[in-house]
Amino acid sequence: MTNDIALGAIPIEQITLGMTVSYSQTITDSDIKMFAGLSGDHNPVHVNAEYAEASRFGKRIAHGLMSAGFFSALFGTRLPGPGCVYVSQSLNFKRPVYIDDTVVATVTVTGVDLKSNRVTFDTLCKVKGKVVISGAAEIYIPPAKP
């Protein structure tokens, strides 16, 4: 019995190019405040409406890493699933995410290396069909225990 399969992880041998999973979440004022408290990032463009109104964004925006964190949710729970470990992530922030925006995060397998137990992914976040974050990730999948 392998613990990874029992936890719902997909064995690396079953991961194929093009496999895709998505996660969506609507960003709330509370989410932004909690993320600011957790991360220590109290940049006023995120937490101060008056400041943000005078910014180029016109209103408060969510922290970029909040949306990027949805990739971690996908990797750790869906593909490949529990037990995997982040190796790297590149991020290109294209557009702001505002309160009440619904972010759709998608990861797509672009490479599988059975020798190193690593899987590479394209990572993408969209709001209303427009890309807000693009990037790439590499995930390590520990070998299954006999």
CATH number at residue 69: 3.10.129.10
- The residues near 140 (Cβ < 8 Å, ≥ 6 apart) are 84, 85, 86, 87, 116, 117, 118
| Predicted pLDDT of residue 146 | 65
118-127: strand order across its sheet: 20-26, 102-113, 118-127, 130-140, 85-93
Domain holding 89, by residue range, is 18-140
Question: What's the domain count of the chain?
Answer: 1
For the record, the structure tokens of 141 come out as: 């999948």
Please report whether residue 132 resides in a domain. Answer: yes
Please report whether residue 130 resides in a domain. Answer: yes
- The residues near 138 (Cβ < 8 Å, ≥ 6 apart) are 86, 87, 88, 89, 118, 119, 120, 121
CB 80 within 8 A of CB 21: no
Per-position pLDDT tens, the chain of length 146: 333 333 458 999 999 999 999 999 999 999 999 999 999 999 999 999 999 999 999 999 999 999 999 999 999 999 999 999 999 999 999 999 999 999 999 999 999 999 999 999 999 999 999 999 999 999 999 987 76
Please report whether residue 13 resides in a domain. Answer: no
| Predicted pLDDT of residue 1 | 30
| Predicted pLDDT of residue 4 | 35
Alpha-carbon distance of 33 to 86, in angstroms, equals 26
Report in angstroms the alpha-carbon separations of 129 from 9, 95, 133: 29, 12, 12
Please report whether residue 36 resides in a domain. Answer: yes
Q: What is the pTM of this model?
A: 0.90
Please report whether residue 56 resides in a domain. Answer: yes
Please report whether residue 104 resides in a domain. Answer: yes
| Predicted pLDDT of residue 5 | 38
Please report whether residue 27 resides in a domain. Answer: yes
Please report whether residue 81 resides in a domain. Answer: yes
